[in-house]
Amino acid sequence: MAISLPEAATLVAGKDLESPLSFSNVHLQKVHHLTDYLEDLHAQTNPLDHNRYFHATEGFYVSPTDVVLGQVAHDLSGKFSSPTPPLAYHRAGPRKDIFFEPQNTRAAIITCGGLCPGMNTVIRELVVGLWELYGVRKIYGVVAGYRGFYSMEPIELNPKLVHNWHKRGGTALETSRGGFDLDKIVDSIEHHEFNQVYIIGGDGTMRGVVKIFNEILRRRLKVGVVGIPKTVDNDVGIIDRSFGFQTAVEMAQQAISAAHVEAESAVNGIGLVKLMGRSTGHIALHAILSSRDVDCCLIPEDKFYLEGKGGLFEFLEQRLKENGHAVLVVSEGAGQDMIPRSDAQKEERDESGNLVFLDVGPWLKSELKNWWARDHPNELFTVKYIDPTYMIRAVPANATDNLYCTLLAHSAIHGVMAGYTGFVAGPINGIYAYIPVEEVAKSKNEVNTKDHKWAWVRSVTNQPDFLKG
């Protein structure tokens, strides 16, 4: 029996809802469109209408009124209802009308920032999707990150060339940090007559996409620009997760297993694994929940301390006494405030402007050794430290991530062809959506140590909460 949401609420709460969820009061996150600033653009029929192999059945095309809600969990009692209406995003997918003629389309694809499993799959699917779905024949790869726009000639891409790229780790287009020169980049877009730009990158790259979009807007160019968020440590907000993340978690478990074997095979053995995550501990959290071999997980969102009651050493001492070994996972951004650093190190930044982190792994290893030598000078003790960072990043995407990359690429293509611009494609609550890039650029996905996910970690490890008593 179908019942309305207010009826359901009455059944659950046993009383009328004070503020039932109503679809008339959602707040729609509008996506920029080329017609916002180019008034005389004319829509074309989508070439998918004439595809040789399949027919666009009823409901195939997505309309501007199709939306995805940002928040799907609600308290029907109304007790915790937010004063602001729920956010809704445009659903991704093919539109009946498009704003590019395939024969006049010149698409550019670029990868920036650090590696992440699946980058090559996204590139491959952008090329194949543009070529096969929309009949675009001029597709270019910009080489070596943002600086490639103005320092190198783009390479021409076609389905034959990219056919097996999804099986390769890394990015065949090469990548780099730094080199963001707005005027030179947009001059190059004009010079090469690119009218679609697909930019694959993380938080830094997305901040660049915002600037490129605004400059394109200022110059009133007919150029659609889309960001495809790449971040191995899943720190981008709004979307469910970033591509490559699941592959990273899988690879991280291999490192944890090795650390476990090493620890178990030693007298008072500690296996220490450092996982990626500059400001967020998602990889560590998911890897330890899946592996169950870990005694303690240290993430940037949860400050810890070493000495004294409730500290890490006291906890490890107990675990070694009980089990003879312990496995410790630390995210790269954890404990940064505890590592001694010189004034120069405090200021050091990488080419993209990111603060250079000190390596928490060797620091922790040495702190552990010093502690044991001080407190148990005559007892055996071993710390085996594993840093799998580049082994994790450099592998090809697994099956789930490969599928995800394909859907991301196709969502991006459909959106750009439909005239949307300055947006990001990504899944929200499992449904692919278009999000204004500036919203994604300012979003952050941190581990909420107050919610049940972190409680799961605590229940798996029984680690201290590091709240000094």
Ligand X SMILES: O=P(O)(O)OC[C@H]1O[C@](O)(COP(=O)(O)O)[C@@H](O)[C@@H]1O
Ligand Y SMILES: Nc1ncnc2c1ncn2[C@@H]1O[C@H](COP(=O)(O)OP(=O)(O)O)[C@@H](O)[C@H]1O
Compute the least distance from the CB of residue 204 to Mg ion, in Å.
5
Compute the least distance from the CB of residue 182 to ligand X, in Å.
20
Give the one residue of 90, 365, 393, 410 binding ligand X; rule: CB under 6 A.
Answer: 393
Q: 202 labelled as ligand-binding?
A: yes
The interface with ligand Y within residues 341-360 (CB under 6 A) comprises 352-354
Could you tell me which residues are beta bridge partners of residue 297? Answer: 329
User: Does 213 sit near ligand Y (CB under 6 A)?
Assistant: no
Compute the least distance from the CB of residue 168 to ligand X, in Å.
18
User: Does 333 sit near ligand Y (CB under 6 A)?
Assistant: no
- Report the distance separating Cα 162 and Cα 159, nearest Å: 5
- Report the distance separating Cα 335 and Cα 420, nearest Å: 42
Compute the least distance from the CB of residue 386 to ligand X, in Å.
15
Nearer to Mg ion, 112 or 173 (CB): 112
Total interface residues for ligand X by CB under 6 A? 12
Nearer to Mg ion, 277 or 422 (CB): 277
Residue 180 binding: pick among ligand X, ligand Y, Mg ion, none (C-beta 5-8 Å cut-off by kind): ligand Y
CA atoms lying within 13 Å on the CB side of residue 209: 35
Total interface residues for Mg ion by CB under 5 A? 3
User: Does 244 sit near Mg ion (CB under 5 A)?
Assistant: no
Residue 94 binding: pick among Mg ion, ligand X, ligand Y, none (C-beta 5-8 Å cut-off by kind): none
Could you tell me which residues are beta bridge partners of residue 140? Answer: 108, 156
User: Does 203 sit near ligand Y (CB under 6 A)?
Assistant: yes
Note whether 11 and 75 are within 8 A (CB): no
Q: 140 labelled as ligand-binding?
A: no
Note whether 164 and 173 are within 8 A (CB): no
Query: x/- contact string, 194-213, with Mg ion (CB under 5 A)?
Result: --------xxx---------
Beta strand pairing call for 382-386 and 269-275 = parallel
Compute the least distance from the CB of residue 280 to ligand Y, in Å.
12
The yes-or-no answer on residue 233 being catalytic is yes
Note whether 222 and 41 are within 8 A (CB): yes
Nearer to ligand Y, 262 or 332 (CB): 332
Nearer to ligand Y, 213 or 454 (CB): 213
Nearer to ligand X, 114 or 415 (CB): 114
| Cα→Cα distances 300→2, 269, 304, 365, 389, Å | 45, 25, 9, 18, 17
Q: Which residue has the tokens 């007298």?
A: 267
Residue 278 binding: pick among ligand X, Mg ion, ligand Y, none (C-beta 5-8 Å cut-off by kind): ligand X
Q: 152 labelled as ligand-binding?
A: no
Q: 119 labelled as ligand-binding?
A: no
Q: 391 labelled as ligand-binding?
A: yes
Give the one residue of 93, 113, 141, 427 binding ligand X; rule: CB under 6 A.
Answer: 113
Compute the least distance from the CB of residue 387 to ligand Y, in Å.
19
Backbone angles phi, psi at 226, to 5 degrees: -135, 140
User: Does 232 sit near ligand X (CB under 6 A)?
Assistant: yes
The interface with ligand Y within residues 100-159 (CB under 6 A) comprises 112-114, 145-146
Give the one residue of 46, 121, 231, 445 binding ligand X; rule: CB under 6 A.
Answer: 231
Q: 177 labelled as ligand-binding?
A: yes
User: Does 278 sit near ligand X (CB under 6 A)?
Assistant: yes
Query: x/- contact string, 178-207, with ligand X (CB under 6 A)?
Result: ------------------------x-----
Q: Which residue is nearest to Mg ion (CB)?
A: 202
User: Does 387 sit near ligand X (CB under 6 A)?
Assistant: no
Q: Which entry of 16, 49, 187, 233 is annotated as an active-site residue? A: 233
Residue 276 binding: pick among Mg ion, ligand X, ligand Y, none (C-beta 5-8 Å cut-off by kind): ligand X
Residues that bind Mg ion (CB under 5 A): 202-204
Q: Name the binding residues for substrate.
A: 231-233, 276-278, 332, 390-393
Q: Name the binding residues.
A: 114, 177-178, 202-205, 231-233, 276-278, 332, 390-393
Q: What amino acid positions are annotated as catalytic residues?
A: 233
Residues that bind ligand Y (CB under 6 A): 112-114, 145-146, 177-180, 201-205, 207-208, 211, 352-354
